[in-house]
Amino acid sequence: MSKIYDSEKTKAIVLCALFTAIVTILSQITVPLPSGVPITLQTFAVALCGYFLYSGKAAVSMTVYMLIGAIGVPVFTGFHGGLASVLGMSGGFIIGFIPMAALCGINVSNHAARIAFGMLGLIACHLLGTAQFCIVAGVDPLAGFLTASAPFLIKDGVSVVLAYFAALGIKKTLRINSHAA
C-alpha cells in the first residue's frame, strides 16, 4: 500500500513541478505594449495547468511559481523575479494565477461547465491584477481596468478555451483518464 501511495505522491510532485516550469517558459514569450503590461502566454499556461492537474495540484503549482519568483528566481515575464515583482504593478495577476488555476481545475464532466469555471478563474485573476495595479499605479478602478485588464480580456478568454481543449488533447494522447490526472 505504501508503494502505491509513494508513487502517487511522487507523480503529483513531478506534475506540479512540470507545470511550474511550463508556466515559467511560456511567461517568457511576450509582446510588449505601451501600458507596460505585455501580452504573454502565461494565461494559457495557467489555465492548462488547472485543466490538466485539477484544483489542488494546480493551486500548489501556481503557489510554487509565485514563491520561487518572489524569492528572486527569474521565472516571471521578462526573466524577472523578486518580491518587487509580486508587489509591483502586475503582481496582482501573478497572485491571481492561484485562484485561476484552482477554478480551471474544478473537475466536472460537462465541457461548458469546465470552461465556465475557467472563465470565473480568469475574472478572479483580472480582479486581483487590476486591484493591485490601481493601488500601485495610484489610478482609479476604471483607469486601471482600461489599462491593465480590458486590452487582454479577449486574448485571455480565448487562451482559457484553447487551454481546455489542449489539456483534453494531451490527456488523450497520453491516455490519461480525463477525470484524473
- Cα-trace Rg, the chain: 16
Q: Which DSSP category does 105 fall into?
A: T
Contact 59, 51 (CB under 8 A): no
CA 166 distance to own-chain centroid: 15
CA angle 75, 77, 79 (to 5 degrees): 55
In angstroms, the Cα distances linking 2 to 13, 15, 148, 180 are 16, 20, 48, 20
Residues in the chain: 181
pLDDT in tens, the chain (181 residues): 556 668 889 999 999 999 999 999 999 998 777 766 667 899 999 999 999 999 999 999 999 999 999 999 999 988 999 999 999 999 999 999 999 999 999 999 899 999 999 999 999 999 999 999 999 999 999 999 999 999 999 999 999 999 999 999 999 999 876 555 5
Domains of the chain, start order: 2-173 (1.10.1760.20)
Q: Which residues contact 153 (CB under 8 A, 6 or more apart)?
A: 126
**How far does CA 178 lie from the centroid of its chain?**
20
Query: What was the pLDDT predicted at 179?
Result: 56
